Structure 1
Amino acid sequence: MDASVLAQLMLTADDDGADLATLRAIAEEAGELGAARALARLGLGDTGAAKDMAELRELLGAWRDAKRSAVKAAVGWIVRMLAALVLVGLAVRLGFSGWVK
């Protein structure tokens, strides 16, 4: 898409007066042209961009899953360590340290 369609619509609006249909067409063409420019600046203006975005979304989903799993594992280890400390504390408090000797 290029700016020629937008320029022609602007000339039509200037010559004929700006009716609602012409203004809507101008806004639509300007929006599409701006979106195409923004995607091109981001490097997503080519035909492989959809595949690249799908792969990035998949990679981001995998990263989130891995992060969630790591947090669950860390919390599990912390809970187990606290439970072990409580059991050792109870054993010392109840006098089970004499059984070890």
Structure 2
Amino acid sequence: MSAGAGAVLAQLLAQGAERGADMATLRGIAEEAGELGATRALTRLGLADDGAGADVAELRELLKAWRDAKRSAWKALVAWVARMACALLLLGLAVKLGALKLGVGEWVK
């Protein structure tokens, strides 16, 4: 509940109490109204049936698996790029030190 909605509810409860309504009755009405609103919202989302809790838990597991797969893919990509950079560095050192003659000068010409 937002701070503004909480303030409005508190003000309405105070007004009801000033006009002679019992505070317990007003709180009961507010609680029932909140329950009814929550039930309507869940019904509109299709989450009002008995299997909704299991469905939400399954969706959370699926989302966690997706996030784990994404994280693993990024790690694999970074590892691949690092290996390629190291391989190119070693190849460059081998050519520079003369341990490997590739004829790069001939390729450039």
After superposition, where does 1:19-98 map in structure 2 within 5 Å? 19-98=22-101
Higher RCO by CA contacts (8 Å cutoff, separation 6 or greater): 1
Identity of aligned residues (%): 69
After the TM superposition, which parts of structure 1 deviate over 2 Å for at least 4 consecutive aligned residues?
16-19
Letter matched to residue 44 of structure 1: L
Structure 2: runs of 5+ lacking an equivalent: 1-15, 104-109
SS of 2:71's equivalent in the other structure is: helix
**Offset of residue 18 of structure 1:** 2.2
Instruction: Figure out how many residues of one structure are paired with residues of the other and give that number.
Output: 86
Alpha-carbon separation, structure 2, partners of 1:19 and 1:94:
93
Letter matched to residue 53 of structure 1: V
Task: Compute the TM-score of the two structures, normalised by the length of structure 2.
Answer: 0.71
**Offset of residue 94 of structure 1:** 1.2
Letter matched to residue 44 of structure 2: R
Task: Compute the TM-score of the two structures, normalised by the length of structure 1.
Answer: 0.76
SS of 2:31's equivalent in the other structure is: helix
SS of 1:97's equivalent in the other structure is: coil
Letter matched to residue 81 of structure 1: M
